[in-house]
């Protein structure tokens, strides 16, 4: 018998919107322009999509769905998603399989979709819960947000085009870097298994999907399987291909904090505001701000040759020898967006060495940024 079900409009809109976002218009297999819709006994509805780099299964359960007859069909993903999103929120949707595809009904509206056999859809990766680690989803999402902004966008830095996951029996460390800056965050976890050799690089698109999945659940299970990372939550199962290659030994660039003898304590909000002011007078060819530290004072200056220059001074807690150093303002503004503390500490050594922001709460967070040349 043909598939037949009813489902909640709002929850179905959310599910299809996310699943359709995985679909790529450029695909070697036209079948993947579709979402695979699978209705199962027990009032369970699955939506599947893939672009061969990422795959996502989103599940709706009772009372959001009532399955009258199990079955499955492939339907054009974006057309189905856009259509469902425009329907009346108060009306329950009715979806049923037809000879040519599927029919969607809502109130007095009716839509017919050309469909394809679900058997033509690529197989979905199998998840093995016995070979997975369990983590608090909120913690993993937070850790990803704290480092993902630092990854490289240039394709030439292939191994840096993702976030390193370093899984140990008692901790998880995430690292993002583009070669000019590095963000690292760690937290102890009682993983309880020997994952000491697990070092994988998760690409940006896959990490974004994982972060979204974590926002929908309290726990997430991760499985590293050959060249894939799989993640399972209450409502989603996803996979992402991993970045091939070896991540650079990031610990070699971490300075001995004992050598960072110059420390400045700054108000995060005041620093961000003043830095944005002087950033306006930088150019792509001259993306640098001069930072002049002296007793309890920081002066920031910048110059755009064709437009003008800026100078802003602010109070800071600084008692070391005077120091002038240059930084790309965007690299500092990026980290200021994710830091939560009212005050931050920038640790410095000299004008030729990296500056470091290090915070320790329940997470151990370090942000390192290389200096720019002072003109």
Q: How far apart are CA 55 and CA 236, in angstroms?
A: 10
d(CA 349, CA 371): 11
Reported as a pLDDT band with limits 50, 70 and 90, residue 358 is: very high
Q: Which residue has the tokens 């990422």?
A: 54
What is the rounded average pLDDT of the residues 239-267?
Answer: 93
Q: Where are any strands of DSSP class E within 205-268?
A: 219-225, 228-232, 236-241, 262-267
* Same domain membership, residue 319 and residue 274: yes
Neighbour count for residue 147 (Cβ, 10 Å)? 23
**Which pLDDT band, with edges at 50, 70 and 90, does 121 fall under?**
very high
Residues 197, 230, single domain; the answer is yes
My answer on whether 167 and 199 are in the same domain is: yes
Secondary structure letter of residue 125 according to DSSP:
P
Q: Tell me, yes or no, whether 61 lies in a domain.
A: yes
How many C-beta neighbours within 10 Å does residue 17 have?
14
Q: For residue 130, what pLDDT is reported?
A: 87
pLDDT tens for residues 275-328? Answer: 999 999 998 888 999 999 999 999 999 998 888 999 999 999 999 999 999 999
Examine the fold and report which residue of 201, 233, 251 is the final residue of a domain before the chain moves on: 251
Residue written as token pair 């894939």: 228
Least Cα distance to 37 among 107, 110, 105, 103 occurs for 103
Mean predicted confidence (pLDDT) in 57-80: 97
| 242 alpha-carbon distance from chain centroid | 14
In a domain, 375, yes or no: no
Query: Is 298 in the same domain as 195?
Result: no
Q: State phi, psi for 292 to the nearest 5 degrees.
A: -110, 110
CATH number (domain holding residue 171): 3.10.150.10
Q: How confident is the model at residue 195 (pLDDT cuts 50, 70, 90)?
A: low
Residues 262 and 231 in one domain: no
pLDDT digits (tens, 9 = 90+) for 144-194: 999 999 999 877 677 899 999 999 888 999 999 999 999 999 999 877 665
Q: Are strands 65-69 and 4-7 parallel, antiparallel or unpaired?
A: antiparallel
Average pLDDT over residues 3-24: 97
Q: Which domain holds residue 65?
A: 4-120
> Are 297 and 219 members of one domain?
no
Query: Do 213 and 165 share a structural domain?
Result: yes
Average pLDDT over residues 237-258: 92
Check residue 141 and give its pLDDT.
97
Looking at every residue in the chain, the average pLDDT score rounds to 94
Q: C-alpha 299: how far from its chain's center?
A: 35
Same domain, 238 and 148: yes
90: which residues sit within 8 A by CB, 6+ positions away? 9
pLDDT of amino acid 226 = 85
Domains identified in the chain, total number: 3
In a domain, 205, yes or no: yes
pLDDT digits (tens, 9 = 90+) for 80-115: 999 999 999 999 999 999 999 999 999 999 999 999
137 and 242 in a single domain? The answer is: yes
Q: 300 in a domain, yes or no?
A: yes
**In-domain check, residue 374:** no
Q: What pLDDT is attached to residue 159?
A: 86
User: Distance between alpha carbon 297 and the CA centroid of its chain, in Å?
Assistant: 36
Residues 153 and 240 in one domain: yes
pLDDT of residue 131: 87
**Strand 54-61 to strand 101-106: parallel, antiparallel, or no bridges (unpaired)?**
unpaired
On whether residue 246 sits in a domain, the answer given is: yes
Peptide bond into 356 cis (omega under 30): no
Which helix (H) or strand (E) is 274 found in, with range? helix 268-279
CB-CB contact of 348 with 321 (8 Å) = no
Please give the distance of CA 68 from its chain centroid, rounded to a whole number.
37
Last residue of a domain, one of 92, 120, 148: 120
> Looking at the structure, do residues 260 and 348 belong to the same domain, yes or no?
yes
Picking from 332, 349, 173, 319, the residue whose alpha carbon sits closest to that of residue 247 is 173
Residue 197 has pLDDT above 70, yes or no: no
For range 45-62, the mean pLDDT: 97
Alpha helices in 100-236 (DSSP H): 137-147, 204-215
Which 8-state DSSP code applies to residue 112? E
Residue 243 lies in a domain: yes
How far, in Å, are 103, 196, 202, 205 from residue 175 at the CA level? 47, 16, 10, 16
Q: How many residues are present in the chain?
A: 375
Q: Same structural domain for residues 235 and 266? A: no
Report DSSP state, residue 140. H
Other beta carbons within 10 angstroms of residue 29's beta carbon come to 11
From 120, 137, 154, the end of a domain falls on 120
Q: Quick one: pLDDT at residue 154?
A: 78
Mean pLDDT value across residues 36-47: 97
């Amino acid at each position: 018998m043909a598939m037949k079900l009813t489902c909640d409009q709002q929850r179905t809109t959310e599910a299809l919107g996310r699943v359709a976002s995985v679909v790529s218009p450029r695909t070697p297999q036209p079948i993947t322009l579709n979402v695979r819709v699978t209705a199962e006994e027990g009032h369970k509805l699955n939506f599947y999509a893939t672009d061969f780099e990422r795959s996502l299964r989103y599940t709706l359960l009772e009372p959001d769905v009532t399955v009258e007859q199990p079955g499955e069909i492939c339907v054009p993903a974006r057309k189905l998603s856009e259509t469902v999103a425009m329907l009346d929120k108060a009306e329950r949707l009715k979806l049923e399989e037809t000879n040519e595809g599927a029919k969607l009904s809502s109130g007095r509206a009716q839509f017919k979709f050309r469909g394809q056999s679900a058997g033509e859809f690529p197989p979905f990766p199998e998840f093995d819960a016995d070979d997975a680690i369990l983590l608090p989803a909120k913690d993993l999402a937070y850790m990803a947000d704290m480092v993902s902004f630092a990854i490289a966008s240039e394709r030439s830095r292939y191994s840096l085009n993702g976030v390193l996951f370093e899984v140990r029996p008692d901790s998880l460390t995430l690292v993002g870097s583009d070669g000019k800056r590095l963000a690292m965050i760690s937290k102890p976890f009682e993983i309880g298994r020997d994952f000491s050799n697990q070092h994988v690089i998760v690409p940006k698109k896959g990490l974004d999907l994982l972060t979204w999945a974590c926002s929908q659940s309290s726990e997430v299970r991760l499985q590293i399987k050959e060249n894939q990372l799989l993640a399972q939550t209450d409502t989603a199962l996803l996979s992402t291909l991993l970045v091939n290659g070896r991540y650079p030994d990031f610990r070699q660039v971490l300075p001995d904090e004992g050598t960072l003898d110059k420390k400045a304590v700054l108000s995060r909000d005041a620093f961000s505001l003043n830095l944005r002011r002087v950033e306006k007078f930088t150019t792509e060819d001259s993306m640098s701000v001069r930072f002049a530290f002296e007793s309890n004072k920081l002066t920031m200056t910048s110059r755009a040759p064709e437009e003008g220059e800026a100078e802003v001074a602010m109070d800071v807690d600084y008692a070391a020898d005077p120091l002038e150093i240059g930084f790309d303002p965007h690299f500092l503004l990026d980290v200021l967006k994710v830091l939560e503390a009212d005050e931050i500490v920038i640790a410095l050594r000299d004008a030729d060495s990296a500056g470091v922001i290090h915070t320790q709460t329940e997470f151990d967070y370090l942000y390192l940024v290389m200096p720019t040349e002072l003109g």
